[in-house]
A = this chain, B = another copy of it.
Amino acid sequence: MDYVSVNYLTKKPKLKNPIFVEGLPGIGNVGKIAVEHLIDSIKAVKFAELYSKDFPPQVFINTDGTIKLVNNEFYYWKAKKRNQRDLLLLTGDYQGLSSQGQYELVETILDLAESLGVKEMYTLGGYGLGHELQTPEVLCATTHKHLVKTMKKYGAVFKKNEPGGGIVGASGLLLGLGGLRDIQGTCFMGETPGYLVDPKSAKAVLKILVKILNVDINFSSLEKKAKEIEHIAHQLKEIEAGSKEKSEELKYIG
């Protein structure tokens, strides 16, 4: 096993001018939720697993009692209509733990993507605001200047100096290292409080992406999850308010 290694489950698919979409775990898990929902909706096919010595030494336990080594997973989808394009999709359990691990992971991902003919990619993530918000906007950054105008048309937002710290992690690094390979890349970052997983922000990101991909998907399951999370957030707030009140009371007593 190499530092990062690819394990093909099926023959390597033949894709025609495919678009690559990435969504790994991160702030609010926005990217991962979005890509997983897309994979489920379009019934993409898993064809390869990626393991790394920089992932935690960990297996998850499936509901049937079997184990699953933590990994990243590649899916593909063949275009069904004239205005669609073949897709390569990536999601997974973890990003690399170390700087070097992240660089190695992203280089391996780009090697595989390039070998399948990828010249265009979208990386999905969250932009943590640290406060609640009503309607998440989708911030954007691109490898090439001409993409900025295009993405604005699709509804993405460019705010000067935001995110101030740039983009840390696979979503940013794919653009950075992909740009050196002349892959045109765009990163969509859904605004999110960043406290909990955020299906609402994932939906906002997907809404823009599906316009670009010309695929038609149903958002109802995402919306249902978003409501559940909203409910949990509300409960947490009440508990917090309660304990605050209590501690206020205690101050008067004490």
Q: How far is the CA of A104 from the CA of B142 in the complex (A)?
A: 30
Can you spell out 13 A-B residue pairs with CB atoms less than 8 angstroms apart? A54-B100, A55-B99, A58-B173, A59-B166, A59-B172, A59-B175, A64-B145, A65-B142, A65-B148, A66-B143, A67-B141, A67-B179, A69-B175
A134 within 8 A of B: no
Closest B residue to A93 by beta carbon equals: B166
Decide: A64 near B172, CB < 8 A? Known: A56-B99, A180-B69. no
A7 within 8 A of B: yes
Closest B residue to A140 by beta carbon equals: B65
User: Which parts of A1-50 form the interface with B (CB within 8 Å)?
Assistant: 1, 3, 7
A254 within 8 A of B: no
CB within 8 A of A179: which of B69, B142, B167?
A: B69
User: Which parts of A114-145 form the interface with B (CB within 8 Å)?
Assistant: 140-145
Contact in complex: B59, A160 (CB < 8 Å): no
CB 8 Å contact bits of A66-88 with B (1 = contact, 0 = none) = 11111000000000000000000
A63 within 8 A of B: yes
Contact in complex: A67, B148 (CB < 8 Å): no
Q: How far is the CA of A54 from the CA of B59 in the complex (A)?
A: 21
A177 within 8 A of B: yes
Q: How far is the CA of A109 from the CA of B97 in the complex (A)?
A: 23
Q: List the B side residues contacting A60 at CB < 8 Å.
A: 166
Closest B residue to A58 by beta carbon equals: B168
A107 within 8 A of B: yes
Contact in complex: B145, A66 (CB < 8 Å): yes
Q: List the B side residues contacting A142 at CB < 8 Å.
A: 65-67
A204 within 8 A of B: no
Q: List the B side residues contacting A100 at CB < 8 Å.
A: 3, 53-54
